[in-house]
Amino acid sequence: MNAAGTRTGRRRSAFALSGIAALAAVTGLAACTSGSGASSSAPAAAGSPGASASASPSASVTVEAGANCSGSSAVKITFWAWVPGLGRAVTAFNQTHPGICVTQEDVGAGDPEYVAITNALKAGSGAPDVAEVEYDELPSFIITKSVDNLVPYGANAYKSDFVPWAWSEVSQGPAVYAIPGDAGPMAFYYNSALLAKYHITPPATWAQFAADAATLHSDDPSAYLTNFAAVDLQWIMSLMAQDNAWPFTYTGGSTVTINWTGAKQMAFAQYWQNMLSAHELNSTTDVSSAAFADMDKGIDASWLSSAWGPSYFLPDAKSSLGDWRATALPQWTAGGDVAANWGGSAYPVFAKSQHPQQAAEFAEWLNATTASWNITKTAPSLLFPTYVPLLNDPAYKDLNNPLSGTSDPNVAFTGAASNISADEWPPFMTEALNEASTVFAGVSNGTQTLQKAFTSFQSVLVSYAKAQGFTVNT
């Protein structure tokens, strides 16, 4: 089973695969998963989405504590995360830090974890000391003062270890509210055999991309240049960021700018809608078995996805394996070098923690040491770093995976990782994601244009933000 919903900004797609996990769990197909899940972190991948489907946080996976944890003098730290294999780093930390004992629990990927944290914070007890929180969700915890400023615990010493955009995603003014973890720089994955068949070279600009989409679909009406997953808000927003059409301005506090209907945003919507109206794009839910089947069967010739994308597609890639390559995203301005990020997580310390010093020490070690990254960059975690020493490591740049092509090593992403602009997420992304699945549904089934969806999303978000007491600029 796929590692649904890990290390990505994608909580909804975790649900998409979760049904399968749920059925497998119920029918006993995953008996081995549930049987061994109590003592090892590896089955977290299959266990957590199942938990999210049944809305039950009880299926938590606890990592065995390190050897030194038997000492009662060690400070106990609770750590919530869903990345598979992260427990290996936790164990390594415990072994090298005798005074601290970190216990990792998996309470679900993304949304289920946030709900559990929010509930625990409301209840006043049971919240973790440290947790994995996606970048887009962090402001929601900052505004409720649920997370600690880590500057008093020496966070600034690590600033130069991280790509600037990642550091600014976890900062507000002088305060630093989390240590950045992984990222999801985007790339243009393409089926080289298929593009060659239609005499298409990987488009360098979006204008070329649109022209190629038309060419390919007219050559073969059953095939598409790529898939456009309209309900995948974070994916759309990543592409908007690359187009300098980011729809929010937020730097903390009670004022937020929401702008889905500006000229840039509408032009972006228009660009994609033109192709959608001409039926030149496929419209399957992204990161789903259906989408992967389309890619493997040659229905979709390319995939606008992230560094973590291949780890999802790989199990489904069969006949097309070996044909896939990765290259930089098409550019809005010819000769440009603008990248985009899709997903990734940071590691805040919660304000209710009894031991913020030790919790911060763990968060810093986990994300800002080569010792930790040497573990987490490998399978099954396969995290893509925001940690500069690793990004600059020639050995990491040469790392391959079968879907980015043997001739195009990781360098496509390590380059992209530093050309990303920081996204300003509003402190209500859960609600935005929630509404998006309904607002954008009509775009997928062709009953609504992307422009219309942007317009109604604007009004939904503005009224929500106003109801929540924000000063809203549009």
Q: Which residues bind other proteins (CB under 8 A)?
A: 12-13, 15-16, 18-19, 22-23, 26-27, 53-54, 111, 115, 118, 143-144, 230-232, 254, 284-285, 288-290, 293, 427-428, 430-431, 433-435, 437-438, 440-441, 444-445, 447, 464, 467-470
Cβ atoms of residues 320 and 298 within 8 Å: yes
Contacting residues for 339 by C-beta, under 8 A, at least 6 apart: 185, 186, 242, 328, 329, 415, 416, 417, 418, 419, 420
Cβ-count burial of 361 within 10 angstroms (0-12 exposed, 13-18 middle, 19+ buried)? Answer: buried
Shortest Å, Cβ 309 to other proteins: 17
Q: For other proteins, which is the closer residue by CB, 360 or 432?
A: 432
What gap in Å lies between CA 101 and CA 76, rounded to an integer?
5
What gap in Å lies between CA 315 and CA 381, rounded to an integer?
15
The C-alpha angle 52, 467, 253, rounded to 5 degrees, equals: 85
Q: For other proteins, which is the closer residue by CB, 25 or 101?
A: 25
Shortest Å, Cβ 71 to other proteins: 40
Shortest Å, Cβ 14 to other proteins: 9
Shortest Å, Cβ 425 to other proteins: 14
Q: For other proteins, which is the closer residue by CB, 220 or 431?
A: 431
- One-letter identity of residue 394: P
Task: Give how far the C-alpha of residue 295 lies from the chain's centroid of Cα atoms, to the nearest Å.
Answer: 21
Q: Provide the Cα torsion 462, 468, 472, 474; round to 10°.
A: -10
Q: For other proteins, which is the closer residue by CB, 12 or 377?
A: 12
Shortest Å, Cβ 116 to other proteins: 11
Q: For other proteins, which is the closer residue by CB, 111 or 280?
A: 111
Shortest Å, Cβ 430 to other proteins: 6
Q: For other proteins, which is the closer residue by CB, 25 or 100?
A: 25
